[in-house]
Amino acid sequence: MDHIPTINIAPLHDPAHADYDRTAQQVMDACTEIGFLSITGTGISQDTVSEVRSRVRDIFGIDESAKWDQAITRENYRGFIPMGFFTPNDGSGKADKYEGYKLHCETATDAPIRKDCALYGPNIWPREVPEAGAVILDYWAQLDRVADMLFGALEVGLNLPSGQLRDAFRDPMTNMTLLHYPPQAPDEGGYGIHPHKDTDALTIIAPDPVGGLEVQTRDGGWITPDCPPGGFIVNIGDMLELWSGGRLKSTPHRVVNRSGRERYSFPYFAVPRHDVVVAPLLDPLPGFDRPSVHCGHWSAEIWRTNWPDETADAGTPELGTLND
């Protein structure tokens, strides 16, 4: 497939809908052939997305000194990510040209799960944009429902027992990154975000009107998703590829912002519960041979190796970075 299909997923809201199986097969086809799809019929309004985008702009408009005061730390990977701070996880290449704000699945300070895994906890919400938390968490909850529908469709497409994928996302490690990409000069090297494959299970993103997201086709070319207004872009991550024994495709993509305008993005990354071990649920396809991964360890290693002075070691899973 050399294009990214657009699918109306409205029938997935109701498993009894006459078009449920047909729509599930459309999702399955896109996820096996290119690993990306544009979706409509989510039930999420354009007004909701616009309000989130406005809050994201406000967050990145905060004074620089306040951003550093609310920045991520090694002990708590939540808050501002400074511009140019992160390089590819394998330590190669130029720093990516973006600034971010990291959010994780909101977890109360006294939640029992925090005793089992230190990666859970409350978010740091920017003090200067007090309404951001409520706006983003409402949007997040709506995306949770969309992700659940898509996982249900993939259970059907992969002939898995009902709930086998979805049950892994109770008390998940799902997270979001708010992103600001300043424009790159026409002759400027590097990327907004370097070519990579997502390490989660499923990513959902409301496309920015500025554009800049590019997806690699099977022949090595790069295409831009054609997503209709009000739609969302979805892509398969490494965890679903592994679960499916290589049937679902985790596809390389990158961001290059040469639009001359500021670009804002807020991807949602669906990640299972910390104690879930991801291994093939079906016999792997010929030639597909990847070790199982423990979600808590995988997540901790991703965040650890983002720091410029940290390196991957023998215990680090493959983290999605690709050669340029």
Identity of the amino acid at 167 = D
In this structure, the strands spanning 232-236 and 222-223 are unpaired
pLDDT level of residue 219 (50, 70, 90 thresholds)? confident
Say what the pLDDT of residue 119 is.
93
* Residues 193-202: tens digit of each pLDDT: 888 899 999 9
The pairing of beta strand 36-40 with beta strand 6-8: parallel
According to DSSP, the residues that pair with 263 across neighbouring strands are 181
CA 198 – CA 258 distance, rounded (Å): 23
Closest CA to 228 of 1, 2, 9: 9
Among 35, 51, 272, residue whose Cα is nearest residue 142: 51
What does the pLDDT look like over 27-68, one tens digit per residue? 999 999 999 999 999 999 999 999 999 999 999 999 998 999
Matching residue, tokens 């590819």: 88
Residue 310 lies in a domain: no
Segment (H or E) for 221: none
Query: Considering only CA atoms, which of 178, 245, 193, 7 is closest in space to residue 85?
Result: 193
> Does residue 1 sit within a domain?
no
Structure confidence at residue 303 (pLDDT)? 86
Percent of the chain with pLDDT over 70: 94
Does residue 129 sit within a domain?
yes
What is the average pLDDT value for the chain, to the nearest integer? 91
Split into its structural domains, the chain has a count of 1
Beta bridge partners of 233: 38, 205
Separation CA 121–CA 265 (nearest Å): 24
Alpha-helical (H) ranges within 171-323 are 238-243, 295-305
pLDDT tens digits, residue range 160-189? 999 999 999 999 999 999 999 999 888 887
* Cα torsion 320, 42, 27, 156: sign: positive
Please give the backbone phi and psi of residue 213, each rounded to the nearest 5 degrees, phi first.
Answer: -75, 130
Residue 323 has pLDDT above 50, yes or no: no
Residue 320 lies in a domain: no
In a domain, 172, yes or no: yes
Instruction: Answer yes or no: is 312 within a domain.
Output: no
What domain range includes position 222? 6-305
In tens, the pLDDT along 79-117 reads 999 887 765 544 555 778 899 999 999 999 999 999 999
DSSP-derived secondary structure letter, 317:
P
- Asked whether residue 311 is assigned to any structural domain, the reply reads no
Is 316 inside a domain boundary?
A: no
* 234-244 average pLDDT score: 96
Write the CATH number for 301: 2.60.120.330
Report yes or no: 23 and 153 within 8 Å, Cβ to Cβ: yes
pTM of the model: 0.94
